[in-house]
Structure 1
Amino acid sequence: IRDEIRLMPVLPFHLPEPESEALRHLCQQIRMAPGESWSSAQAAGIVGMSERTLNRHFQQQTGLSYGEWVRRARLLEALVRLAQGQPVLRVALDLGYGSHSAFTAMFRRVM
């Protein structure tokens, strides 16, 4: 994975911030604990809205679905940790992936 990152001329990732205070606070919590499950049901409960409303607001305010936003947040955190030299397996497990291969598969899908 590190070799693939090194070969990329530009990392094409941007993590847009939502406008709403409640969603920004949720995003901050996700970035502080990216390895948690962060299901849409859990997130909706935190911000006090239905899952459907959460997803609609995320799409409107960020251009991403809630699930895609969480995946990108994890991926960006993974890139930082890998660039710091942390072992791939440690990064994978810390970010909630069950194995090195699950993390690598996600990484290749996105890249």
Structure 2
Amino acid sequence: VMQALPFHLPEPHSNLLRTLCKQIGEEPAREWTTALAASVTNMSERTLNRHFQQQTGLSFGEWVRRARLMAALMRLAQGQSVLRVALDTGYGSHSAFTAMFRRVMGVSPSDYFR
């Protein structure tokens, strides 16, 4: 049984930002910088950041981190290996992913699903 996710990932209301968020969800390993997202949406970085904050209550960077973590949690719940999940969600190594996971969740990925 999947544990409840530890947080909600707010969805922006504008179609442009929703499309961007969908793309991030489909490509969580891509390096989603503010500059890249701004060019994808044809906005300035400043405008992108302002709209993201207004519509989701989160900075763009924080939203991307949460989206990656949610993708990781779903994959781990399906039984995928920590290394595979780490690489598929944009982390360079098992240890980098585990450090982020422990910082955010308070436990290691393996302990979370015990």
TM-score by length of 2: 0.87
Is residue 2:7 matched to residue 1:13?
yes
**Residues 24-71 of structure 1: CA distance to partner in whole angstroms, max 9, x if unpaired?**
000010001111101110000011111111111100000000000000
Find 2:51's aligned residue among 54, 57, 80: 57
Q: SS in structure 2 opposite 1:29? A: helix
Amino acid at match of 2:40: I
Which consecutive segments of 4 or more residues in structure 1 shift more than 6 A?
A: none
CA distance in 2, matches of 1:10, 1:77: 13
For 1:33-52, list aligned pairs within 5 A.
Answer: 33-52=27-46
Map of 1:25 onto structure 2: 19
Give identity over the alignment, percent: 74
CA distance in 2, matches of 1:86, 1:79: 10
CA RMSD of aligned residues (A): 1.3
Where structure 1 has 5 or more consecutive residues not aligned to the other structure, the ranges are 1-5
Is residue 2:50 matched to residue 1:75?
no
Where structure 2 has 5 or more consecutive residues not aligned to the other structure, the ranges are 106-114
Question: How big is the shift at 1:80?
Answer: 0.4
Cα pair 2:5 2:70 within 8 Å, conserved: no
CA distance in 2, matches of 1:77, 1:22: 21
Amino acid at match of 1:86: Q
Map of 1:85 onto structure 2: 79
Q: Figure out how many residues of one structure are paired with residues of the other and give that number.
A: 104
